[in-house]
Structure 1
Amino acid sequence: MVSRTGNNALQMLGGSRRRVLGVLREARRPIDVQEVVQRVGLHANTVRFHLDGLVEAGLAKRGAEDRTRPGRPRTTYAAAVLDDPSDQRGYRLLANMLTGYVATEVKDPAAAARRTGRDWGRYLAGRPTPAQNLDAHGATEQVVRRLADVGFAPEAVEHDGATQVLMRHCPFLETAERHSNVVCSLHLGLMQGMLAETGAPVHTDRLEPFVEPSLCIAYLAMDGTGKHDD
């Protein structure tokens, strides 16, 4: 189980280290350095550096493979368990019940989820002080930090002159697979609310779910208003 110190360390992770942690979580089994290298595309020495940092922070565990053949067993790494499994089952059940209700009983569940996400996004973002003037880059960094707080392993990247937020390790993956119109719309609204609250000239109106089995992408664009309509 990850301690309070480990949770604080999670909030401070850089983009590359979040990606490495996301790979460990997605694997759901101990894996070695080379498998991490293949999945993240970083140099082996860089991956080892990040893995050692995750172990020191209590976010990953180091072990050795079970080996029946002669030779030295490879070092393996696995993500540390964040919460007690019984707690996870309880929250997962609650999430499935609530999203199922919204999906079947609410008129236009995607729009309702976006509105709820925006309200909570504004709350989570925290309004800047009058002297604080965030630009698009600063607002994007703040959104990435808040998404990490929620449980994602996010990373902002530039692609074809535009900014994308790669959202790995969805904390509600199983629920999103069943009710993506609700969960993904909620996450889109969450980001919209965060960006609107910063007052920065950037917004997002598009989140592409499941580009890969464990990757969704939000697309950011420059905008002078920060306002959004259903």
Structure 2
Amino acid sequence: MTRPPYSAISNTARVEMLHLMQLEPRRTVAELCEATGLHANTVREHLQRLIDAGYVVSETERRTTRGRPRVLYSAATGAEASSPVAQRKARDAAVRGDLLRRMIPGTAPDGLTGEALHQLDALVEDLIEEGFDPLVDADALTIDLSPCAHAENQGRAVVCGVHLGVMQGVLAEAGGPLAVAGMEPACDPTTCVVVLERR
């Protein structure tokens, strides 16, 4: 499967930066430069791509002393750190999903209604935007992303962790009972099945 050329988290440096912000929010450009070894301008470009995709949010530091306030960057979690871009994407996905279900009756998965359906709409659209071809099993609450486009990646554990964090953020931003529980264990490194749960 070919990944879209403009996928925000298809770049190794952006994945690494997003991983750092998932581990510890409110990072500065200087901290990200030090951790990644990248130039400040390159870090800023990557951050802007992640903000434009709705995966990162920025805030200006509140200072009580003199000096220019720093800009702090965090991974968008949908809860503590909510992204206006991710909010819009979730709303738009819900509208498109509802429209599709009205136009083609019987396309709604059994057992999922309202908010859960809208969460699934947002998640599937985000996964497609990131270059995956998700296969949803609404009864088992799983999403098969096989074959994994990142199977050959040496830092696969980090990539999987980042993708799971992004998926959790998308579900939280859409609001509803579904959350990411993890991944099904597999002997085949190209197999990737995400497990959802009802909270």
**Structure with greater strand percent:** 1
Higher helix share: 1
TM-score range (shorter-chain normalised) is 0.3 to 0.5
Q: Over alpha carbons, which structure has the higher Rg?
A: 1
Question: Could you tell me the TM-score, scaled by structure 1's length?
Answer: 0.42
